[in-house]
Amino acid sequence: MQTAGDEHGDERLASAGFHQVDAATSQDAAAANARWWSETAEEYLDEHGAFLGPADFCWCPEGVRESEAGLLGPLSSLRGQRVLEIGAGAAQCSRWLRRHGVDALATDVAPGMAEAAARLDAETGIDVPFLTADARELPLADAAFDVVFTAFGAIPFVPDSGRVHAEAARVLRPGGRWVCSVTHPVRWAFPDDPTSAGLTAVRSYFDRTPYSEVDATGRHVYAEFHRTVGDHVRELVAAGFDVLDLVEPEWPAQNTNVWGGWGPERGEFLPGTLILVARRRTR
């Protein structure tokens, strides 16, 4: 879970900021993200693994757990369904589901995350079927799943997130559920600072210029793409979904964890996460 403006401390970076990019460059940036998540998988887990847990289902830095939120539906009903996780990282969420007897498959574009998932499988004794695949082009059959979800995966890191929603719709049976958590769009207007210094807007919420990090050769290292709340809803509807809920978790008083630009000080005033809950239309 990254957020725009959070530079990654790579000495090779020549620039980091908000840059207009054309369609071809945007696709290069998406490919760079796949490399970045693969190469930094261990670093990411070293920093955030304890908070996420090796076999727990955490939706966001606010600490919303599926065990309490039930956004996928009752656990008892999930045990009779096929569930797909997109942008799974090290598959912690799918591992939690499988621990509870749910038939879950994890996918992620980053081979390094697949390797990390295999290590967590060995540590926990819970095996998660894992497929390395781009969320925009899943090698899976139509209508093969009852539930599809992603916790901060894929959507912020590709220029064409509508394709992610379209693929989720394609692999879902009619009436199936699609749930995705993303950085709350209002965060785009504010600095990536979890303290009170991050409470003053410095950009237009409506400015969709991507955030990107570029090395000295001009090669993209990392990028994020912004959508407004309305953009997200329109993409869901265009992909064939009915929107059931928009969840904006409040920061829990007991959560003292700071994660990039997320933290209790700013979380008291600004939303950090948006969770979209949708159902594939039956006709």
Query: Quick check: 210 and 29 in contact, CB under 8 A?
Result: yes
What the block records as the tokens of 152 is 């901060």
Query: Quick check: 5 and 191 in contact, CB under 8 A?
Result: yes
pLDDT 10s digits, 124-148: 999 999 999 999 999 999 999 999 9
Arithmetic mean of pLDDT, 177-192: 97
Structure confidence at residue 3 as a pLDDT band (50, 70, 90):
very low
Structure confidence at residue 107 as a pLDDT band (50, 70, 90):
very high
Q: What global pTM score does this model have?
A: 0.93
User: Helix 23-39 crosses helix 41-52 at what angle (to 10 degrees)?
Assistant: 70
Query: Quick check: 169 and 238 in contact, CB under 8 A?
Result: no
pLDDT of 160 higher than 70: yes
pLDDT for res 12: 61
Percentage of the chain exceeding pLDDT 90: 85
pLDDT for res 15: 76
Closest CA to 269 of 205, 190, 180, 181: 190
pLDDT 10s digits, 237-257: 999 999 999 999 999 999 999
Q: How many residues does the chain have?
A: 283
pLDDT for res 219: 82
